């Protein structure tokens, strides 16, 4: 049954904490998933949360620490002693242990390393050499590997030994005498094969997909998505097998990437959470707000250039918000679709002109429909045929140009190495406001005045 955090339950749990009712706490949380316990503990202070974790099973304790978001965990671990942190790390895989150690101050990190299990220490020290945003920083050292010359019987015996240190494994990797990765064997093949066959005979024929330690985490995510992999082996520059990356680590990367792009599209220039400091929130939001203000001032100045036209035909001012809002919406729609498509590296290379032609056709049909609706509404409301026709033609033109800008801008940003998600926020809105006004007043001068 799904855990539900109600106000009544929170109040009862707070009472149990105040009274140090360990029996209630343990029995209540016994059947609750660690992720749900984490959401409950966010409601309490660090000291209270730590009290709860200390009386729970050690493995559950470690899973909850592992699943906390980075900022919360960093603050939470400040009340832990090096011995307590080491106790948590001893329950985790090497990649999770390394991630947590990255968040511990350097002095405490050395103490923790001295206290964890020797085998885990060697693995973690190796992982700490890598940046957190590359494959080497994502990988876990725990995996199952066998030699190509072994028999199936030997492999199964070795798997039994190695599996004690591996929580989940999806394949068995085959290496040569110097640990160079040469293939993989599915568990199904091992179970069904003759016990005296060699690994080389039952190894999968297609080349195994692997990633290098220096590959960016987003590229690793792309590869695992493309080939639909539950795990991917990691090799060093010599082709030697050094670790593996599992799907749960890649899901975290994809989620972080999506959150970052969503914030950029909303005009937030750095990764922030609601509970971050006031100054950090201001610093993240203010730059694009200033750009929006500057764009608005430019709009006002630009409209001032057409003061004579506005005085001559006052009614044209009524439609400025319509032109700007439509241009902005069309631009953001087009940019959002292109940003999503750019996740596929082949987008710009394959069928570029076909895609642009399709974008143009969609924009033209949308423009016809929108211009027709506006024309009909204006004829009914204003009964001025020339004004209605002018506004409709201007709107049609704005839809075409805004769609073009929304398509080309993220592609250009991507080409020059900038995040294309920038094109889906205030940048494209401000640009299309100015573009829409230019087209509108040009059409007014051409057809109405």
What is the SS3 assignment for 344?
coil
For residue 52, being part of any structural domain is answered with: yes
User: What pLDDT score does 349 carry?
Assistant: 47
The answer to whether residues 351 and 432 belong to one domain is yes
Q: What is the pLDDT of residues 167-210, one digit of tens each?
A: 777 789 999 989 999 999 988 888 888 888 888 889 887 888 99
The answer to whether residues 334 and 236 belong to one domain is no
The answer to whether residues 438 and 411 belong to one domain is yes
Among 104, 133, 162, the domain boundary falls at: 133
The answer to whether residues 285 and 323 belong to one domain is yes
pLDDT at 288 over 80: no
pLDDT at 423 over 70: no
Distance from C-alpha of 392 to C-alpha of 386, rounded to nearest angstrom: 10
Among 187, 219, 254, the domain boundary falls at: 254
User: What pLDDT score does 272 carry?
Assistant: 55
The answer to whether residues 209 and 322 belong to one domain is no
Alpha helices in 240-319 (DSSP H): 247-265, 278-304, 307-312
Among 133, 160, 192, the domain boundary falls at: 133
pLDDT at 163 over 70: yes
Q: How many domains does the chain have?
A: 3
Distance from C-alpha of 38 to C-alpha of 76, rounded to nearest angstrom: 12
Which whole-number Å values give the CA distances from 112 to 37, 53, 118, 150, in the listed order? 26, 19, 12, 39
Q: Which residue has the higher pLDDT, 304 or 132?
A: 132
The answer to whether residues 192 and 170 belong to one domain is yes
The answer to whether residues 28 and 93 belong to one domain is yes
pLDDT at 236 over 70: yes
Distance from C-alpha of 355 to C-alpha of 358, rounded to nearest angstrom: 5
Q: What is the pLDDT of residues 2-41, one digit of tens each?
A: 567 778 888 888 999 999 999 999 988 888 888 888 888 8
For residue 397, being part of any structural domain is answered with: yes
Distance from C-alpha of 146 to C-alpha of 164, rounded to nearest angstrom: 15
The answer to whether residues 312 and 427 belong to one domain is yes
Specify which residues 145 forms β-bridges with: 173
CATH number at residue 53: 1.25.60.10
Range of the domain at 365: 278-447
């Amino acid at each position: 049954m799904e855990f539900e955090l109600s106000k009544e339950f929170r109040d009862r749990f707070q009472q149990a904490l105040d009274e140090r009712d360990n029996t209630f706490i343990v029995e209540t949380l016994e059947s609750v998933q660690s992720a749900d316990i984490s959401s409950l503990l966010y409601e309490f202070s660090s000291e209270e949360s730590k009290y709860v974790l200390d009386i729970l099973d050690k493995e559950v304790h470690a899973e909850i620490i592992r699943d906390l978001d980075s900022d919360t965990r960093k603050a939470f671990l400040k009340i832990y002693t090096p011995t307590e942190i080491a106790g948590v790390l001893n329950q985790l895989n090497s990649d999770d242990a390394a991630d947590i150690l990255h968040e511990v101050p350097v002095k405490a990190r050395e103490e923790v390393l001295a206290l964890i299990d020797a085998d885990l220490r060697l693995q973690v020290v190796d992982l700490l050499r890598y940046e957190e945003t590359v494959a080497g920083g994502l990988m876990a050292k725990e995996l199952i590997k066998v030699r190509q010359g072994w028999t199936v019987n030997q492999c199964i015996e070795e798997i039994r030994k190695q599996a004690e240190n591996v929580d989940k494994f999806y394949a068995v990797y085959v290496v040569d005498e110097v640990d160079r990765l040469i293939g993989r064997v599915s568990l199904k093949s091992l179970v069904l094969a003759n016990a005296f066959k060699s690994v080389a005979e039952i190894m999968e024929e297609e080349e195994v997909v692997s990633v290098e330690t220096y590959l960016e985490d987003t590229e690793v995510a792309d590869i695992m998505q493309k080939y639909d992999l539950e795990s991917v082996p990691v090799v060093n520059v010599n082709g030697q097998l050094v670790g593996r990356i599992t799907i749960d680590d890649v899901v975290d990367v994809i989620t972080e990437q999506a959150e970052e792009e969503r914030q950029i599209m909303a005009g937030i220039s750095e990764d922030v959470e609601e509970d971050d400091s006031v100054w950090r929130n201001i610093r993240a939001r203010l730059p694009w707000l200033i750009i929006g203000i500057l764009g608005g001032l430019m709009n006002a100045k630009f409209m001032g250039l057409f003061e004579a036209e506005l005085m001559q035909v006052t009614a044209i001012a009524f439609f400025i918000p319509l032109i700007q809002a439509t241009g902005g919406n069309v631009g953001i729609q087009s940019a959002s679709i292109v940003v999503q498509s750019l996740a596929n590296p082949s987008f710009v290379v394959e069928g570029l002109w076909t895609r642009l032609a399709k974008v143009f056709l969609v924009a033209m049909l949308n423009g016809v429909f929108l211009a027709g609706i506006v024309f009909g509404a204006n004829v009914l409301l204003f009964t001025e045929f020339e004004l209605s026709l002018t506004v409709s033609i201007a709107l049609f033109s704005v839809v075409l140009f805004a769609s073009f800008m929304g398509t080309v801008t993220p592609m250009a940003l991507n080409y020059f190495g900038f995040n294309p998600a920038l094109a889906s926020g205030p940048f494209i809105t401000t640009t299309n406001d100015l573009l829409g006004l230019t087209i509108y007043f040009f059409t007014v001068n051409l057809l109405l005045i």
